[in-house]
C-alpha cells in the first residue's frame, strides 16, 4: 500500500492530524491498536483551551462542542478554608470549555467515517523502518490478521508515551528530560450534577483535591494519593468522605454525591523528548511529551502540535521542507512553557510528603500571592486559557 502520511494512533492528535491533512488534499492513513468502541469511550481530559475550541470550530467540528460544552470564565482556588476565584475572562478576555476528550474523539471518528477517510482499528505488530530515507515504511498486521506494508512520505507517531513510535528512533537520536512526582491522582467519574459551576483546585494539608465536571449530570473528581496506593482500599464512602473534607470551605459548600461510575489511579510525571522528529518520523502529543494534569495542558498540547505539523506536512508534500525542519523547535517553545506551568500548578497545590516546614511556608506564600495579586492571577489565567499555537 502507498499513502503520503502514516499516522500511528487514533487519539485526538492522530485523528485531528489526519482530518487536517485530508482537508488540504494530503492523503493519510490512521492505524490504531485498540478497537473502535474502546477508542470512543476511554475517559481522558476535559478542559479545552480557547485556541483548541477555535480550531475545532474553524474546521467544522465544533457544532456539538458549542452545543454541549460548558464554557467557564474562571475557576476556584481553595486553601486555608477560603475560596478565591481566578477570573479567566476578566483577566485575559478568553475562557476555557469543559468538553471531554472522548467527545472530541467521537466527533473525529464520526467525521472520518462520514467522509470515508482511512482509519484502521485493531492493528498489531506495528513496526517502523527506513525513517532516515524519503520513503519510510510501516509494517503491521490488520484486524483480519493479514500482514501489511505501508509505504509513505512521512510517519507521525501519535501513539502516546508507551507507543512504538518513539522507541523506533535509534539510540542517541533523542534527549530525554523527565521528572516524577511523589504523589498520584485517584480520579473518579460520578453520576451526579457538579457541586459548583466552575472547577475547584484545592490545596489541603491532607493533599490536593480537584472538582471538575463532564456534563450537567456527570462530575469528575480527583484526590491526591500516594503513587503506590491500593485502589481497592478506597471504597466509595471513603472517597466521598475525603473529598468532602478537602473541598470544604468556611462558608457554605455541599458536595453532591452519587454513584461512582469509574475510578483509577494515575501517576504524575513530566517528560519531554527532544527533538520531536527524526528523519521522516515525527512525534506529536504524548509520544513526545507528558505533563502532570494539574495545568490541563496534555490534550491541548497535542492539538497545538498537530496544528503546526499539519501545515508542515502540507508544505512538505508541495516540495518545501522548511516548515517540517522547523517543526520541533516551533512546538518545543510552547511545550516547555506548558511544562513549566504544569509543574508550577502541581508544586503549588499538592502536599509534598517530603517537604520540610520551610518549603510548606513558601508554598502557602505562593498561593496567597496568586490569589491576592492581579498580576500573578493574570499570569495564571493567561497560561490556563491557552497561548497561541505558533507555527
The catalytic residues are 72, 201, 293, 297, 384
Nearest to 331 by CA among 322, 323, 319, 342: 323
Q: For 91, left (φ over 0), alpha (ψ -120 to 50), or beta?
A: alpha
On the 0-12 / 13-18 / 19+ scale of CB atoms within 10 A, 148 is middle
Cell of 32: 490504531
DSSP 166: G
Grid coordinates belonging to 366? 505562593
What distance in Å separates the CA atoms of residue 343 and residue 167, rounded to the nearest whole number?
Answer: 26
d(CA 56, CA 146): 35
Of the candidates 165, 172, 173, the one whose C-alpha atom is nearest the C-alpha of residue 128 is 165
Parallel, antiparallel, or unpaired: how do β-strands 200-202 and 75-79 relate?
parallel
Query: Could you tell me if 73 and 95 are in contact, meaning their C-beta atoms sit under 8 angstroms apart?
Result: yes
Apex 75 CA angle, 256 and 352, nearest 5? 85
CB under 8 Å to 237, separation ≥6 — which residues? none
From CA 73, how far away is CA 317, in angstroms rounded? 40
Distance from C-alpha of 386 to C-alpha of 384, rounded to nearest angstrom: 5
Pairing of strands 5-8, 154-157: parallel
A 10 A CB-CB count for 345 gives 24
Amino acid at each position: 500500500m502507498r499513502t503520503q502520511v502514516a499516522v500511528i494512533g487514533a487519539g485526538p492528535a492522530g485523528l485531528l492530524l489526519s482530518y487536517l491533512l485530508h482537508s488540504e488534499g494530503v492523503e493519510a492513513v490512521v492505524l490504531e491498536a485498540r478497537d473502535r468502541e474502546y477508542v470512543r469511550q476511554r475517559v481522558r481530559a476535559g478542559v479545552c483551551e480557547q485556541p483548541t475550541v477555535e480550531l475545532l470550530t474553524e474546521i467544522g467540528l465544533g457544532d456539538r462542542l458549542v452545543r454541549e460544552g460548558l464554557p467557564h470564565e474562571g475557576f476556584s482556588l481553595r486553601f486555608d478554608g477560603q475560596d478565591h476565584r481566578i477570573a479567566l475572562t476578566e483577566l485575559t478576555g478568553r475562557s476555557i470549555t469543559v468538553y471531554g476528550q472522548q467527545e472530541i474523539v467521537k466527533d473525529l471518528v464520526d467525521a472520518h467515517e462520514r467522509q470515508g477517510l482511512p482509519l484502521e482499528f485493531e492493528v498489531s505488530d506495528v513496526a517502523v523502518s527506513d525513517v532516515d530515507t524519503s520513503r519510510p515504511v510501516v509494517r503491521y498486521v490488520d484486524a483480519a490478521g493479514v500482514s501489511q506494508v505501508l509505504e509513505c512520505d512521512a510517519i507521525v507517531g501519535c501513539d502516546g508515551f508507551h507507543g512504538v513510535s518513539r522507541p523506533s528512533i535509534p539510540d542517541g537520536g533523542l534527549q530525554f528530560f523527565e521528572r516524577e512526582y511523589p504523589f498520584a491522582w485517584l480520579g473518579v467519574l460520578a453520576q451526579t450534577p457538579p457541586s459548583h459551576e466552575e472547577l475547584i483546585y484545592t490545596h489541603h494539608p491532607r493533599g490536593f483535591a480537584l472538582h471538575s465536571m463532564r456534563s450537567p449530570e456527570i462530575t469528575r473528581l480527583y484526590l491526591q494519593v500516594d503513587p503506590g496506593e491500593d485502589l481497592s482500599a478506597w471504597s466509595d464512602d471513603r472517597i466521598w468522605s475525603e473529598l468532602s473534607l478537602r473541598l470544604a470551605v468556611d462558608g457554605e459548600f455541599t458536595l453532591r454525591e452519587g454513584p461512582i461510575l469509574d475510578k483509577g489511579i494515575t501517576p504524575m510525571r513530566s517528560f519531554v523528548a527532544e527533538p520531536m522528529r527524526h528523519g521522516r518520523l515525527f512525534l506529536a502529543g504524548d509520544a513526545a511529551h507528558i505533563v502532570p494534569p494539574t495545568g490541563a495542558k496534555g490534550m491541548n498540547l497535542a492539538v497545538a502540535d498537530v496544528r503546526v505539523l499539519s501545515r508542515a506536512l502540507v508544505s512538505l508534500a508541495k516540495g518545501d521542507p522548511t516548515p517540517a525542519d522547523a517543526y520541533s523547535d516551533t512546538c518545543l517553545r510552547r511545550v516547555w512553557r506548558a511544562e513549566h506551568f504544569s509543574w508550577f500548578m502541581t508544586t503549588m497545590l499538592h502536599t509534598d510528603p517530603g517537604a520540610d516546614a520551610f518549603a510548606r511556608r513558601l508554598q502557602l506564600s505562593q498561593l496567597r500571592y496568586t490569589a491576592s495579586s492581579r498580576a500573578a492571577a493574570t499570569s495564571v489565567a493567561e497560561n490556563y486559557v491557552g497561548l497561541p499555537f505558533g507555527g
